[in-house]
A and B are shown apart, each in its own frame.
Chain A
Amino acid sequence: MWSQGASGSGSLLLVAALFSALVLSPTLAIHVYTHREVHGTVGSQVTLSCSFWSSEWISEEVSITWLFQPETGKDTTSIFHFVKGQPYVDEVGTFKNRMEWVGDPHRKDGSIVIHNLEHTDNGTFTCDVKNPPDIAGKSSQVTLYVFEKVPTQYGVVLGSIIGGVLGLVILVVVLAYLIRYCWLRRQATLQRQLSAMEKGKLQRSAKDSSKRGRQPPVLYAMLDHSRSTKSASEKKSKGLLGESRKDKK
């Protein structure tokens, strides 16, 4: 926690320094950028990316240096050097056979990869780039943390659980309302058909009792015919409903 805070203020200082450097002396300055922190697990590999920006053309004289200061020690050792288009990797130190050069200075990239991480790799790595004659400028540092198991980020599980459950509840509520709405609509149409049928019966009986003209009964017969062609299930439910209504009466 403390180290994070310190590095935070450090980066702020760095930004301020960069800003002042940019404003005060816009020419002849080389800027190097790395991540602030890199996490890795034991046995895995990690890329230490380093990019730079130079006001000059990238010359053949460009040199890139990686320095390493272990967490437990004060000594800074040089672990990588790139000069005259040729990378030189640490062949005797702690990173023997575990380091790989993946950068390309013409693309302003000075990244390295460290394979097979160990706990002793915890520490600060410094990337330093010189592009003669553009040599003025700060180097950049990245801190490597090697874990047994990368800890989950704060709030990831929390957020996903809350979001998931709330989403599920909203989905269920919406589905329930949709089903209820459809059911109510179906009921309403059934009700309308029923009432229409009853009205028809009533009117027909009235017409029969009065024994006037022959035209209206034909119309109702047609209506009855159209109803009889409806699906069987609907008919069944209609019949059931009709019975229940009769029972109630």
Chain B
Amino acid sequence: MLLLLLGIIVLHVAVLVLLFVSTIVSQWFIANGRTADLWQNCSTLGVSSSFQCIPSSTNEWLQSVQAMMILSIIFSVLSLFLFFCQLFTLTKGGRFYLTGIFQILAGLCVMSGAAIFTVRHTDWQPTTGDTAFGFAYILAWVAFPLAVTSGVIYVILRKRE
């Protein structure tokens, strides 16, 4: 039982870390030595010269991706908080419905954010030359099934002791 509890918390924290990393790190998109994320475009001038970052565009779709990522973080943090609340207040045999719902919402938000980025990144990124998605983008996609899984586990789980 304790092991299960620990496992769930570790899974939840892992999802949170993934969400934070993918939101903050400037590696959503790589093109010709330039890296871009939701907040800024960075480029290295020359071989070992200065690393320059400029704020990213104010495209509506980019802003909605930002909003989705922030929402997913908010929901996931809220879910963790609610989990600890329900752990101490829930009656025996109750299910963690509220926690699960918020965690699933976080998963849906990160999915829609990443999906919007996939479809719409050409609106604000030039796609000439060799371009690739960065690891922060992949982490966002990894965070989606993990968040949904942990949300489903919360819903299935019944409280013991």
Contacts and interface: CB of A to CB of B under 8 A. Distances in A.
Contacts of A162: 67, 70-71, 74
Given A152-B60, A157-B60, A166-B74, A1 B54 contact: yes
Given A1-B54, A151-B58, A152-B58, A157 B71 contact: no
A157 B54 contact: no
Nearest to B102: A169
Contacts of B63: 152, 154-158, 161
A244 interface: no
B66 interface: yes
Contacts of B58: 151-154
Contact residue range for chain A?
A: 10 to 19
Interface in B22-71: 54-55, 57-60, 63-64, 66-68, 70-71
B91 to A, nearest CB: 14
A162 B65 CA distance: 11
Interface string A137-163: 000000000000001111111110110
B54 A161 contact: no
A152 B105 CA distance: 28
A152 B61 CA distance: 11
A161 B64 contact: yes
A166 B63 CA distance: 16
A158 B64 CA distance: 6
Contacts of A156: 63
A222 interface: no
B67 A161 contact: yes
A165 interface: yes
Given A1-B54, A152-B60, A153-B58, A158 B67 contact: yes
A169 B79 CA distance: 13
Interface of B: 54-55, 57-60, 63-64, 66-68, 70-71, 74, 105
7 contacts: A152-B58, A152-B60, A154-B55, A157-B60, A157-B64, A158-B63, A158-B70
Q: Which 3 A-B pairs have the closest CB atoms?
A: A161-B67, A157-B63, A158-B63
